[in-house]
Amino acid sequence: MSEQQGVLKTGTSTIGITFKGGVVVGADHRATMGHFIANKSVQKLFKIGNNLALTTAGLVGHAQSLSRTLTAEVALFELRRQQSMTVKGAATLTANILSGRPHWVQLLIVGVDADGGHVYSIDSAGGSIPDVYCATGSGSPYMYGVLEDGFKDNMTQAEALKLAARALHASGQRDAASGNGMDLAVITPSSGYVQLSQDEIAKLLK
């Protein structure tokens, strides 16, 4: 993809998968300008609350600004209410921000609450769609091929992690704008947001 108004755009692969007891969320590392790989270690997965995560595809400047805003808003909500924001609440908040001032992004809001694990896809104009799994970015067609073949209801955490790693690996192999490794995290009611180490990810890919 190309550079616009001095802000880097990314060809991207991000993913969210629900399983029995929580969610898995992940993203690749590559940022591109046209056919040029501009950066091999871009952060596209953000913890925005102990029970919530955000993945980003699109303009890096817009994505980073949104991650800071959402992290602050979630923290303020928890401080005032003395309770965690629901995943639907975080998705609605994000959608409202984007509908007021559209951003060049496609987002996933992923997390757990009293009703279980949830994945919401948020488009650049504020549309919000829940699903049991979702993939975004230029690598999403390759990931959906893996997801539709491998996803099943009531997956275990281990199964969901392996599926997410396999889907992100497939996009990195076939999509020129995705790759250079990945970040993966698990969110559960008992442990909250836990990001995997690169060694743990390497074991999943074996």
For the domain with range 14-205, which CATH number is right: 3.30.300.20, 3.50.50.60, 3.40.640.10, 3.60.20.10?
3.60.20.10
- Model pTM? 0.90
pLDDT per residue rounded down to tens, the chain (206 residues): 333 444 455 568 999 999 999 999 999 987 776 677 777 778 999 999 999 999 998 778 888 888 999 999 999 999 999 999 999 999 999 999 888 676 777 899 999 999 999 999 998 778 899 999 999 988 899 999 999 999 999 999 999 999 999 999 998 887 766 767 899 999 999 999 999 999 999 999 98
Whether 12 is a known active-site residue: answer yes
Catalytic residue among 12, 14, 32, 86: 12
Show me where the domains of the chain are located: 14-205
pLDDT at 123: 85
- Separation of alpha carbons 60 and 12, rounded Å: 11
